[in-house]
């Protein structure tokens, strides 16, 4: 796989920041599915804390507008943690924080088949305790002077059988349960509730199918496309799923929410 030269260049600069222990490339560029519209996702591994002021200064030097700001640690929620959005030479770039201690715990959870789901803004299905392990298994390590990232990645190079079994047991019954709940909501005219249940039914199926085939699922993004490529998926699964969950009128929703008087 040929990686963007910009990824290596940025990783080298990030690795010199005080407190940054390593840098990894994640997302579509790491999995070989990037398009011209894809962001360049770089995760910064740290232990406890790092020099946020130094990162902010680097962001402002790199960003085309000179206005990029890095969030505090934890500023993007408990599991996304924090980071910065930049545009560097026309390329959208995301810096994302990852506490190495929590990554290590996530690897241990994955190996032990620990299934725990947490709420996180931006992730309607939630974030699993093994999420960081899934990221690590799928990433490309660019900077790792201590070798700690590489050692953790080695432990999840093969999908843990205990995790596969646990996810299948956890989600195998849920799709029918969520569908039944959605049908009850429809009968009562509660479309908001029914829509949420229908989405969860689809995600339960996707989780189960990926677990059966020991396929890491990073999050909900393109989850239907990942599942559609696996044996056992219904024909044209992603397109048909989109059709049964549509329409989605975001402009109408924005207008509706904008009419609220919350002051």
Q: Encode burial over 70-95: b for 16+ CB neighbours within 10 A, e otherwise.
A: bbebeebbebbbbbbbbebeebebeb
What is the distance between the terminal CA atoms of the chain, rounded to a whole angstrom?
53
Identify whether 213 is part of a domain.
Answer: yes
Task: Indicate the burial class of 29 (C-beta count within 10 angstroms; 0-12, 13-18, 19 or more).
Answer: buried
171 vs 208: CA distance, rounded Å: 6
pLDDT over 80 (residue 263): no
What is the mean predicted confidence (pLDDT) over 224-228?
A: 95
pLDDT over 80 (residue 2): no
* Residue 1's pLDDT band (cuts 50, 70, 90): low
Q: How many domains does one find in the chain? A: 2
166 vs 215: CA distance, rounded Å: 14
171 and 147 in a common domain: no
In the predicted model, what is the mean pLDDT of the chain? Answer: 95
102 and 26 in a common domain: yes
Q: What is this structure's pTM? A: 0.91
Token digits for 65?
Answer: 């507008």
Which range of residues forms the domain containing residue 193? 163-250
113 vs 100: CA distance, rounded Å: 20
Tens digits of residue pLDDT in 24-64: 999 888 888 888 888 999 999 999 999 999 999 999 999 99
Residue 107, domain CATH: 3.30.460.10
Q: In which element (H, E) is residue 34 found?
A: none
**Residue among 134, 98, 99 nearest 114 (CA):** 134
pLDDT over 90 (residue 75): yes
Portion of the chain with pLDDT greater than 70, in percent: 100
Identify whether 120 is part of a domain.
Answer: yes
Tens digits of residue pLDDT in 170-201: 999 999 999 999 999 999 999 999 999 999 99
87 and 184 in a common domain: no
Identify whether 24 is part of a domain.
Answer: yes
130 and 22 in a common domain: yes
């Amino acid at each position: 796989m040929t990686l963007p030269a910009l990824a290596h260049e940025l990783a080298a600069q990030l690795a010199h920041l005080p407190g940054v222990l390593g840098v990894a490339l994640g997302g579509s560029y790491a999995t070989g599915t990037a398009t011209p519209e894809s962001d360049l996702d770089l995760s910064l591994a740290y232990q406890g804390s790092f020099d946020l002021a130094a990162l902010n200064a680097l962001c402002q030097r790199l960003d085309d507008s000179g206005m990029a700001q890095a969030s505090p640690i934890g500023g993007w929620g408990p599991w996304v943690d924090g980071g910065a959005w930049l545009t560097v030479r026309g390329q959208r770039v995301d810096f994302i924080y990852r506490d190495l201690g929590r990554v290590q715990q996530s690897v241990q959870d994955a190996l032990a088949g620990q299934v725990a789901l947490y709420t996180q803004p931006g992730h309607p299905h939630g974030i699993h305790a093994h999420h960081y392990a899934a990221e690590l298994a799928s990433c490309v390590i660019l900077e790792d002077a201590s070798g700690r990232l590489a050692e953790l990645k080695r432990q999840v190079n093969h999908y843990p059988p205990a995790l596969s079994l646990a996810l299948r047991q956890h989600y195998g019954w849920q799709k029918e349960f969520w569908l039944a709940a959605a049908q009850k909501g429809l009968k009562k005219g509660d479309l908001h509730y029914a829509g949420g249940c229908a989405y969860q039914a689809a995600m339960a199926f996707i989780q189960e199918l990926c677990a059966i085939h020991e396929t890491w699922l990073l999050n909900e993004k393109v989850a239907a496309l990942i599942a559609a490529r696996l044996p056992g998926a219904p024909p044209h699964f992603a397109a048909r799923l989109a059709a049964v969950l549509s329409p989605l009128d975001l402009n109408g929703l924005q207008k509706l929410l904008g009419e609220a008087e919350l002051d």
